[in-house]
Structure 1
Amino acid sequence: MSPTSTDFTPLAALVDAQAALRPRHPAVVLDERSVDFASLNRLADRVAAALQRDGVPAQGAVAICAATSIEYVAAFLGSLRAGVTVAPLSPSLNPQTLRAMVQDSGACRLLIDASTHQALHGLEAELGIPCIALDDSHAGIAFGQWLAPEHARPAAVDVQPDWAFNLIYSSGTTGVPKGIIQPFGMRSSHVQRATQGGYGPDTVALLSTPLYSNTTLVSLFPTLSLGGTVVLMRKFDAGQYLALAARHRVTHTMLVPVQYQRILAHPDFASTDLSSFRYKFCTSAPFSAALKAQVLARWPGALIEYYGMTEGGGRCELRAHEHPDKLHTVGRPSPDTDMRLLDDQGRELPADAPRDAPGEIVGHSPAMMSGYHNHPAKTAEAEWFDATGKRFIRTGDVGYFDADGFLILMDRKKDMVISGGFNIYPSDIEAVLLEHPDIADAAVVGVPSERWGETPVAFVVLQPGAIAQAAALLDWVNGRLEKMQRLAALELSQELPRNAIGKVLKRDLRDQYGRAP
């Protein structure tokens, strides 16, 4: 759906329609509590009416920084119904970063809970905006008291597709997070294409990633908009996930690769009835071919990997169950997506370029960010226009398309190591490391080198019970790499630093190596 589509229906209106059509159908489940569509819709109405009562205008903004809860979902939906932009923020960030994000977003209300209040260390007063406690705690104005009366209805708002739906702050794996403006039209396009993934009124989607993550929202909103049920987890735990999947007869799930790995390794996996699954999705981090093969072999239902960015633009889809010979790829571009490759000078690679010639991936689709909030220069850096003026979003990833049109990723452009004038892709080295039977996880980063400019080093997590030595592993892998790829060092780690959706924080690894004695 384009921002000017005449078929545009605001997401909150879709939920309102579901409440009228099937009011008693469960909408959101968390722990032992279940809220039906009628109740969720009334709660969203009260949020919208409260915002309007407080003078928060359409196209204003609120920030939510809290743990997963049903009230969080209702507050998000209610804000959208009032035409208000939502900035969902991670409670795990340090207070200074959170303060900067709230101020950058322009939020005039901050919705928090007791855990966030403790993490903020009293910075709420410095923000100078009212704080509302979603859990009715001492963290702010109690949510129940702040809400408009039980049967309040908000004034209708003519939401436009180019208005800002939410501000998703980038994960910050490579620098200071930027607010990504996703318009209402972009989110609506997510709902439209979700039907291709089997979403509908009989969907039961189990979501275990945080509500501030785009990974979660791309499944949450389509499920609710199409009349399905969302089962939420406060925090991911593989054993609890399996118990919930069996109990609720889950049909859909969105997971990141490290979660698939932990679920498959759990002792209850083999004895858990997962026959209700129809679709499993994966996104947000590299998904190894070996792990995809395990999921296909051991877990019922289709497996679909999505490759794309929170910023939107290009999106690839690998239906792994239909293409088991393409597990080393991230699939083909989606039908509504135009993806191209650029050379180092930002020029499009010609059609007659060698099939395996890598380039930076750029993409255009109906789902594209408006830009980075308050960062026009950064927005311009993220855009590329073809000769006709068509707008593309730069991914920062390097890859190429095989003869069948499947995209093979090589690495993040910023993670590429340039050593002695040669381009080294860390993912190639990581793939070799993971072939060793004693290695469970691995990450490779480039560090400064007086001789080569940069040189690759590896951080490795051993399999449980393995006793391999770092020196022996270094010799083993270097014996299998090309000369220019060889590692300068290999360090053993208890675990790799990851953000909440499973991306390895390579910047932290570089800093860690720099602090090593």
Structure 2
Amino acid sequence: MTAAALLESDFATLPDLIRAHATERGDRLALAEAGGELDYAGLDALMDRVAAALQRDGVKQGDSVAIVAAASIEYAAVFLGTLRAGGVATPLAPSATGEAIVAMIADCGAPITFIDADAATTLAGQRIPGKLVHLKSLGTWLAPEGAAPAPVTIAPEDGFNIIYSSGTTGTPKGIVQSHTMRWAHIARNSAAGFGDAVTMIATPLYSNTTLVSFLPTLGWGGTAALMKKFDARGYLQLAERHRATHTMLVPVQYQRLMALPDFDSFDLSSFRFKTCTSAPFSPALKADILKRWPGLLVEYYGMTEGGASTALIATMFPDKLHTVGQPLPGHEIRLIDDDGNEVAPGEMGEVVGRSPTMMTGYHGRKEASAAAEWFDAEGNRYIRHGDVGRLDEDGFLILMDRKKDLIISGGFNIYPTDLEAVLSQHPAVADCSVIGVPSEAWGETPVGFYVPHTGVDASVEEIRDWTNAQLGKTQRLAELHAIEELPRSAIGKVLKRELRDRLAASAA
């Protein structure tokens, strides 16, 4: 079946799409990185060799295959070859501790794990369940050239991948996502122009944020340009060299790119489609990108677990930059109170959502899966997003904060994002975050952290007083601390738990 016919069908697998692209235009560039390139014919053949080797080593259909490494052509080939063998790709964060990585490998039951040199250092001395293969010696592990795996039949509900939550609030949970879910990500991008795209991949391949642009790029036959590690100037140089058309970045990456003094000197005229997700995206930053960076800008809001996703086409709705947009077609959002009842129109509530892209559940954790669900009166299943928000009169979602980050001080609800929005406006503040800490007098009280702006002189006390002068009495910061850099996950989320731990350690 041709690639066009597959893409027009009700369901197709990514390995089949890649094979069709290899057959029809095998010399089209599929993957590019600083050290090399691979066309679709070469990728298809490499996937066959990976899949055959996995089957040779006893990997059965439905088994997990773990990968702990930075993005590379070899990484992508192992991920995709796992799917062709009928396995479940399980990319793990190399930034996690050795103990945490081993725990995730054990949790998913992977009989084989692929690592790079950095991961090997992290895992030194650890007892790894199953077999270990170094990506640097992948060539000696692969099945011979021309090898073909035993064919497998993949059903829509079969596992495609397991993504482990970031662990910012506790032990990472394995989120099982099906081929149906990933097919929906590919199919819904019919108008995004991925067929002739050159997509910059500058976030880790273990992140769902990355996969929602990486997978459609290959599904439609475009080119994915991989960066092992993001740096702002290197990104712009690579984008200029490859004439990049598409990208998915997180807000902190956009922030660093736009802050470069010579940003405007780079030729970015080839860009057609820029997206953002995973963390709060300030209206001022969106406006700056619209002004200075060509191409459509779309902000997506959603979660790895599925739920519902929204999209803000910022280029079309410049008056809605304070929102995260409207639900995508086929996606539904409702807002509920603490008792699980829907709130009245215009009122704030916890976001719950449903869509064709919901997770099957957390791997091996029935109770956690149940806790993440909400059912309406008709028995329809929704996923709790953990965010508090409200819908405006046009159905655009305005996020207030993470429910777990809500500060209740003296009986009043305080949203850290409101305080951060004020604090960030001080010229001496380059980056900031606000957390709630226990207080005998108020139950909780807000404490701020900020990264000083180079070249702007202001004391902590001056910044705190300036900020508090613009806040309500119940919102005022009890403390403010200067910090060299905010702790962030690989996709830019501020790790507020680490800020709380740091504060507790300094008080001990």
Q: TM-score range by the shorter chain?
A: over 0.9
**Contact 1:296/1:321 (<8 A) preserved:** yes
Residues 358 and 400 in structure 1, CA contact (< 8 A), matched pair in contact too: yes
Q: Distance in 2 between matches of 1:224 and 1:424?
A: 44
Tell me the SS of whatever aligns to 1:168.
strand
**Which region of structure 1 is more displaced relative to structure 2, 288-297 or 434-443?**
434-443
Distance 2:35 2:114 in 1: 23
Contact 2:345 2:391 in 1 (8 A): no
Partner-residue secondary structure (3-state), 1:464 = coil
Aligned letter for 1:262?
Answer: R
Determine whether 1:387 maps to 2:377: yes
Query: For residue 337 of structure 1, what is the aligned residue in structure 2?
Result: 331
Deviations 1:448-486 (A, max 9, x none): 111111111000112211221111111111111111111
Q: 1:321 aligns to what? A: 315
Instruction: Say whether the 8 Å CA contact 2:106–2:129 is kept in structure 1.
Output: no
Instruction: Select the residue among 145, 148, 153 that pairs with 1:153.
Output: 148
Q: How does 1:197-208 map to 2 (within 5 A)?
A: 198-208=192-202
1:6 Cα deviation from its structure 2 partner: 7.7
* Map of 1:190 onto structure 2: 185
The within-5 A match list for 1:431-510 is: 431-510=421-500
Structure 2, unmatched stretches of 5+, are 1-7
Q: What is the DSSP-based 3-state SS (H/G/I as helix, E as strand, rest coil) of the residue aligned with 2:79?
A: helix
Correspondence 1:412 to 2:402: yes
* 1:372 aligned partner: 362
Q: Which amino acid aligns with 2:304?
A: T
Q: In the alignment, which of 36, 60, 68 is matched to residue 39 of structure 2?
A: 36
- Is residue 2:157 matched to residue 1:162? yes
List aligned pairs for 1:58-97, cutoff 5 A: 58-97=61-100
1:389-421 Cα deviation digits (max 9, x unpaired): 111110000000001110000000000011111
CA distance in 2, matches of 1:245, 1:236: 12
Letter of the 1:460 counterpart: Y
Tell me, in whole angstroms, the C-alpha distance in 1 between the residues paired with 2:383 and 2:82: 28
Q: Deviations over 1:288-340 (max 9, x none)?
A: 00000000000000000000000011100000000000000000111110110
User: For each residue in 1:156-190, what CA deviation from the matched residue of structure 2 results, as whole angstroms up to 9, or x when unmatched?
Assistant: 11111111111101111111111111111101100
Q: CA deviation at 1:92?
A: 1.3
**Whole-Å separation in 2 of the counterparts to 1:487 and 1:332:** 33
* CA distance in structure 1 between the aligned counterparts of 2:28 and 2:78, rounded to whole angstroms: 20
Tell me the number of residue pairs that the alignment of Structure 1 and Structure 2 aligns: 500
Q: In structure 1, give the amino acid aligned to 2:430.
A: A
Supply the distance in 2 between the matched residues of 1:449 and 1:335 (Cα, whole angstroms). Answer: 44
Give the partner amino acid of 2:488.
R
For 1:472-510, what per-residue CA distance to the aligned partner results, in whole angstroms no more than 9, with x for missing partners?
A: 111111111111111111111111110111000000001
* CA spacing shift, 1:366–1:354, aligned 2, 3 Å: closer
2:296 to 263, 287, 302: 302
2:41 partner SS: helix
In the alignment, the residues of structure 1 paired with residue 358 and residue 441 of structure 2 have an alpha-carbon distance, to the nearest angstrom, of: 42
Contact 2:387–2:401 (8 Å) recurs in 1: yes
Cα distance in 2 for partners of 1:251, 1:144 equals 32
Within the candidate set 300, 305, 313, 1:311 is matched to 305
Mapped partners of 2:64, 2:432: distance in 1: 40
Give the secondary-structure state (helix, strand or coil) at the position aligned to 1:194. coil
Equivalent residue, structure 1, for 2:175 = 180
1:374: Cα distance to partner? 1.1
Is the Cα contact below 8 Å between 2:64 and 2:111 reproduced in 1? yes
Identity %: 57
Q: Which of 12, 17, 20 is 1:17 aligned to? A: 20
Q: Which runs of 4+ in 1 moved over 3 A?
A: none
- What's the CA shift for 1:128? 3.7
TM-superposed deviation, 1:145: 1.8
Question: Does the 8 Å CA contact 1:207/1:231 hold for their aligned counterparts?
Answer: yes
Equivalent position of 1:224 in the other structure? 218
Q: 1:462 is matched by which residue type in structure 2?
A: P
Tell me which amino acid in the other structure corresponds to 2:133: I
Q: Quick one: which of 97, 113, 124 aligns to 1:121?
A: 124
Amino acid corresponding to residue 363 of structure 1 in structure 2: G
Checking the alignment, whether the CA contact within 8 Å between 2:45 and 2:146 is kept in structure 1 is yes
Q: Which amino acid aligns with 1:440?
A: A
Structure 1 Cα separation of the partners of residues 440 and 329 of structure 2:
47
Q: Is the Cα–Cα contact under 8 Å of residues 25 and 37 in structure 1 kept in the other structure? A: yes
Match for 2:181: what amino acid? M
C-alpha separation between the residues in 2 aligned to 1:169 and 1:323? 34
